[in-house]
Structures are given as C-alpha cells and as structure tokens.
A and B are shown apart, each in its own frame.
Chain A
Amino acid sequence: NAGVTQTPKFQVLKTGQSMTLQCAQDMNHNSMYWYRQDPGMGLRLIYYSASEGTTDKGEVPNGYNVSRLNKREFSLRLESAAPSQTSVYFCASSDGASGGYTFGSGTRLTVV
C-alpha cells in the first residue's frame, strides 16, 4: 500500500543509548516531517525537510538529529536518549504547503 512506513513500531532504550528511527514514503512527496506526540500536548514538530537535501529545526529539536537520505527517506536519530524523550514519534510527508499530511503509523519509544 502507498504511504509512509516507519520502523520500528516499538522500542525500549536505556538512558544514554542511541537509536535511529527510519521513515520512508512512496508518494514522491517533496516534504517530510518528524513529530512527537505526548498526552495533552498534541503533536510537536521536531525537524522537517522541505525538499531533498535540506533539513530545518522545528519546535523541539534539542536531543535529535535528522538525515534526508534521498527523496524517499528521512531518519531521526537520538544520540543519547533521555527519559524526557519517551513519546510516540510520527513521520509525515506532504506535497507542497497546501497539501494535507500523510502520516506513518508511529513509533512508541520508552526510555528507562
């Protein structure tokens, strides 16, 4: 099925460990995004990539890095995980500023 694919779906990390969340879309969208969802806070933008080769900080970028590997793939890396990064992470893509987002199914991350 066409859409946005995220891996893994679940992950438990110990404080200080690192990991990379993977995201790929097959809709030929130019723009891709990483959000985190926390109860009562909606979704907050971590980083985004307006087009292949560019990345920019969002609302809550501290503790994260991203890579736009090619037009399809946009990964999110936690270099040294902290309990405050326990959250559900969503990747999304869109085709232009007026387009709605297509979201992946999310990664539930717990940092202990």
Chain B
Amino acid sequence: AQSVAQPEDQVNVAEGNPLTVKCTYSVSGNPYLFWYVQYPNRGLQFLLKYITGDNLVKGSYGFEAEFNKSQTSFHLKKPSALVSDSALYFCAVRDPRGGGFKTIFGAGTRLFVKA
C-alpha cells in the first residue's frame, strides 16, 4: 500500500537560513511526487512536482525538492527562508499505474520562520 511520512510535525527556522522539510514515501514502481503549501484558512497550493528526469526540481516561491530513489525521499528545500514562508506543507505521492488518480498526502509539517 502507498504511504507518505513527514517525520516532523513542526520545523523552526530563522529568517535567512536554509530550510528543509522532510518527506519519505513507500510506493512500488516509479511514483509521481508533489509538494503543496497551505496558508491559514486557505486551500492547498501546488508548489512543485517530480515526474521523471533531473532529481532536483524547482518550483514556486524559490522552493526546490530533491528526489532520492534509493532513500525513497523527496525533501523540500529553500536556500533562504522568509517569514512569509510560514505555513503548513504537505508532501503527496501518486502511483501512475492504473491511471494515477489516487494521491496520498502526508500528515503535514508546520513551518515557522522567525524574524
């Protein structure tokens, strides 16, 4: 069965420092991987995705993520955090076999960026 783990409920970072939000997954084959961000009282917004190709993918707002197949990880990164990055971040995985219509979301990691 597919599963996604975000091992940290919360990540605290000082503004200007690099940030990492961790994600590991358990899906057989070659999954599609996604990151979403949710600001208070809003729906989720798509940040970036990995489908195939280069293991480092770049997305919105300066975020990037590194796909590591051997470690089954897809960690979200940003070189320099902003206070406005404070939000709830979700990792998601989709098995493309059978049409790929069921996306599994992690429980979310709350990011606090302190000024």
Which residues of A are interface residues toward B (Cβ below 8 A)? Answer: 4, 31, 33, 35, 40-45, 48, 50, 56, 58-59, 90, 92, 97-98, 100-106
Which residue on A lies nearest to B34, using beta carbons? A100
What number of B residues sit within 8 Å (CB to CB) of A?
25
Please determine whether A42 and B32 come into contact, CB atoms closer than 8 angstroms. no
State A104–B96 Cα separation when bound (angstroms).
23
Please determine whether A97 and B94 come into contact, CB atoms closer than 8 angstroms. yes
Q: List 11 A-B contacts (CB under 8 A).
A: A33-B101, A41-B107, A42-B106, A43-B90, A44-B105, A45-B104, A56-B101, A98-B32, A100-B46, A103-B36, A103-B44
Which residues of B are interface residues toward A (Cβ below 8 A)? Answer: 4, 32, 34, 36, 41-46, 49, 51, 90, 94, 96, 99-108
Which residue on B lies nearest to A50, using beta carbons? B101
Residues on B with C-beta less than 8 A from A103 are: 36, 43-45
Residue with the highest number of chain B CB atoms closer than 10 Å, among A42, A90, A106: A42
State A72–B85 Cα separation when bound (angstroms).
32
Please determine whether B101 and A106 come into contact, CB atoms closer than 8 angstroms. no
- Give 5 nearest A-B pairs by CB, closest first: A97-B100, A100-B46, A103-B43, A42-B105, A43-B105
Given contacts A42-B90, A90-B43, A106-B43, A101 and B99 within 8 Å (CB-CB): no
Q: Which of A35, A42, A105 is in CB contact (< 8 Å) with B42? A: A105
Given contacts A40-B107, A97-B100, 19 further A-B contacts (CB under 8 A): A33-B101, A33-B103, A42-B105, A42-B106, A42-B107, A42-B108, A43-B90, A43-B105, A50-B99, A50-B101, A90-B44, A97-B99, A97-B101, A98-B49, A98-B100, A101-B46, A101-B103, A103-B45, A106-B41
